[in-house]
Chain A
Amino acid sequence: GQQVMQIPQYQHVQEGEDFTTYCNSSTTLSNIQWYKQRPGGHPVFLIQLVKSGEVKKQKRLTFQFGEAKKNSSLHITATQTTDVGTYFCAGVTTSGTYKYIFGTGTRLKVLA
């Protein structure tokens, strides 16, 4: 079936190091959304990308949507302890049945 995988599943970094998570879909997506979920919390929307090759920045966070609209990445520069949590991508598939699918998530731990 249609899947959205994220790698890595877990990442531990020292505070100040950079971090990147990758989102890969088996089918083309009409858009990609990114969410952050703090431990014990609920997902919170970060950003949406719609156009092929689109790049958006939010302070230390850089989001990219691939040219083929099947993959995306989130890069955090100089991580801080407040960046701890699980990052999810999600998107709507454009092939076959209209589906909204979440990625498997990347759990980030930042060591002070």
Chain B
Amino acid sequence: DAGITQSPRHKVTETGTPVTLRCHQTENHRYMYWYRQDPGHGLRLIHYSYGVKDTDKGEVSDGYSVSRSKTEDFLLTLESATSSQTSVYFCAISESRFGQEETQYFGPGTRLLVL
């Protein structure tokens, strides 16, 4: 497996609280991604980064912000968590955009429950 870690792995929080999820890689890959996975929807792209301080929105970016101050770290923040953001969140990395030249490697995931 590629060197990707996510923290925390599990989190329970209350509606209205801010939450930050961290993705850390040791592969020095340029691209990093945040996805959410929900039953019946597969994986949906939230945001992605193509370099330090360079990010772009995915298809479900509302309610989420991201930051990448170092190559190895990509943070996902829920400014004010809502129950609809209860999901499993996966971080992924790749050397080319969306792994077009090779593949994306996924982290172990973070299970978030918003009460």
Interfacial residues, chain A to chain B (CB-CB below 8 A): 1, 4, 6, 9, 30-31, 33, 41-45, 48, 88, 90, 92, 99-105
Contacts and interface: CB of A to CB of B under 8 A. Distances in A.
Contact of A101 (B59, B99, B105, B108): B59
Interface stretch (B19-27, B38-46, B73-81): B38-46
Contacts of A33: 99, 103
Contacts of B40: 9, 104
A104 B103 contact: no
Interface in B70-109: 90, 98-100, 103-109
Contacts of A105: 42
Contacts of B109: 42
Contacts of B100: 30-31, 48, 92
A95 B13 CA distance: 39
A30 to B, nearest CB: 8
B103 A48 contact: yes
A30 B99 CA distance: 13
A99 B61 CA distance: 13
Contacts of A99: 59
Given A42-B90, A43-B90, A102 B42 contact: yes
Contact of B103 (A9, A41, A42, A45): A45
A12 B35 CA distance: 27
A42 B37 CA distance: 10
Contacts of A104: 40-42
Contact of A42 (B44, B45, B108): B108
A13 to B, nearest CB: 21
- Pick the 4 closest A-B CB pairs, nearest first: A45-B103, A42-B106, A102-B42, A102-B43
Given A30-B100, A99-B59, 12 more contacts: A33-B99, A42-B109, A43-B90, A45-B99, A45-B104, A48-B99, A90-B43, A92-B100, A100-B45, A101-B45, A101-B59, A102-B43
Nearest to A4: B42
Contacts of A1: 59
Nearest to B56: A98
